[in-house]
Structure 1
Amino acid sequence: MKGSGMLDATQPVPPGSPDAGSVDVGARLKRFRTERKLTITQLADRSGVSSGMISQIERGTTNPSIKILQRLRSALGVNLWDVLDENASAEPRPSPSSAHVLRRANRPRIVVGESRLVKELLSPRKDRNLRFMIITLPAGGVSEDVIVGEGEKGGLVTDGRVRLTVGQEVSDLDEGDSFQFPSSLPHALSNPHAEPAKVVWIMSVLDSHI
């Protein structure tokens, strides 16, 4: 709704990949909401995300950006990793052989935003100050609503080429190039090229809600 201050931009989810095998974020958000006995309208009031947007996310007809997920998880009082990782309720979550290992078959996978970036979470545990993931950027893909705050971020381009913007500095990176910067700086990652690209993305987290 215009003028309400609520986020209401929706992105329809087309059939087929890259959603195949991804975490059902909408179902998880609905479960958290119903567990707290909140209506969609009440969650909208708490989060500043419109009721229509929340309804579409819960039905799986739109891909929320990270910024919208941040608003919703804050209103629900949960950790962002709880929303993204369907196995995060186990504390800690051991694999069959080690509490420090996340098997590839158990890797949470989500699709976010209009650009439909694919994020595969690699961190075996959510109770540590280090988060890392693989981000796949389709041709023309741009990161949206990145989290800015205390800590450090870094990464390694493993496939293709990407453009990294940190503050006023723009760097074109090739496969094998790496980077690191304070996460308090405005930043963005994009793929202006015709081929998809992959980046191992690393975060040193000082916000316990992330």
Structure 2
Amino acid sequence: MPEKKAQDIKVGEAMLPVEGDTRQIGERLRILRAERDLTILELAAKAGVSAGIISQIERGNSNPSMKTLQRLRAALGVNLWEFLERSGGAATTQDAPFVRRAAQRPRIVVGETRLVKELLSPRHDENLRFMFVTLPPGGISEDVLIGTGQKGGYVMSGRVELTVGERTALLEEGDSFQFRSNTPHHIANRSDQEAKLLWIMSVLDTHL
């Protein structure tokens, strides 16, 4: 499936500048590749991704899928969120390392339905992660991270369907959940209103 072209999208009332996020991913990818002395062709071979896609991502002309980012981060030996972290990390020189300011949240727009993830954790290399997940109407999670650990969350607004294994539950504002993250799962917004969740992960693979 071809990568999506960058474009502005609307989630709720806010316009999300996907093009800016895409450029940031491309810049970080180019820096991480250069730090490892890899050519585009060498990275493509290691990641199992075409050189053309990598070139488009680095130029900011393509919004990579989660699956593509997973392959690239594995080939580079980095954390998934390092593609989105600005230089200097979460905290400024004035901030304590346990703080992440609202303006410094890495964000990624995932899949054809444009699910939005915003990292809230002050650090991206610890075993505990938490984030905001925003699902537009009709939004569904794709390429979810499966691995050893736990996942949980809280529905802040709207309603979502959460499927874990063979069970599906309809969750509304104020409901919460928790499950083992190695169980196949996905979330979907079947309504005509945006839904927002606080999503928490306890993971053993800090590359995720």
TM-based fold match above 0.5: yes
The alpha carbon displacement at 1:38 in A equals 1.8
User: After superposition, where does 1:56-75 map in structure 2 within 5 Å?
Assistant: 56-75=56-75
Task: Report if the CA contact (8 A) 1:110-1:119 is conserved.
Answer: yes
Taking the aligned partners of 1:60 and 1:190, their CA distance within structure 2 comes to: 28
Partner residue in 2 for 1:3: none
Partner residue in 2 for 1:5: none
Taking the aligned partners of 2:168 and 2:190, their CA distance within structure 1 comes to: 13
Partner residue in 1 for 2:12: none
Partner residue in 2 for 1:10: 3
Q: Secondary structure at the match of 1:120?
A: strand
Task: Report if the CA contact (8 A) 1:67-1:147 is conserved.
Answer: no
Partner residue in 1 for 2:94: 96
Query: Which consecutive residues of structure 1, in runs of 5 or more, have no partner in the other structure?
Result: 1-7
Task: Report if the CA contact (8 A) 1:159-1:199 is conserved.
Answer: yes
Partner residue in 1 for 2:76: 76
Q: Secondary structure at the match of 1:115?
A: coil
Partner residue in 2 for 1:55: 55
Deviates more, 1:195-204 or 1:107-116: 107-116
Counterpart residue type for residue 65 of structure 2: S
Taking the aligned partners of 2:37 and 2:114, their CA distance within structure 1 comes to: 31
Q: Which residue, out of 156, 174, 181, partners 2:179? A: 181
Taking the aligned partners of 1:171 and 1:86, their CA distance within structure 2 comes to: 37
Taking the aligned partners of 1:29 and 1:97, their CA distance within structure 2 comes to: 26
Q: Secondary structure at the match of 1:49?
A: coil
Taking the aligned partners of 1:155 and 1:54, their CA distance within structure 2 comes to: 33
The alpha carbon displacement at 1:45 in A equals 1.0
Counterpart residue type for residue 117 of structure 1: L
Task: Report if the CA contact (8 A) 2:91-2:101 is conserved.
Answer: no
Q: Secondary structure at the match of 1:171?
A: strand
Taking the aligned partners of 1:57 and 1:143, their CA distance within structure 2 comes to: 22
* Count of aligned residue pairs for this structure pair: 201
Partner residue in 2 for 1:209: 207
Taking the aligned partners of 2:93 and 2:103, their CA distance within structure 1 comes to: 11
Taking the aligned partners of 2:123 and 2:185, their CA distance within structure 1 comes to: 26
Task: Report if the CA contact (8 A) 2:119-2:132 is conserved.
Answer: yes
Counterpart residue type for residue 69 of structure 2: L
Deviates more, 1:170-179 or 1:13-22: 13-22
Counterpart residue type for residue 80 of structure 2: L
Task: Report if the CA contact (8 A) 2:91-2:99 is conserved.
Answer: no
Normalized per residue, the structure richer in strand is 2
Q: 1:116 to 1:60 in 2, by over 3 A?
A: farther
Query: Which consecutive residues of structure 2, in runs of 5 or more, have no partner in the other structure?
Result: 10-14
Task: Report if the CA contact (8 A) 2:81-2:106 is conserved.
Answer: no
Instruction: Give RMSD over aligned pairs.
Output: 2.0
Q: 1:190 to 1:62 in 2, by over 3 A?
A: farther
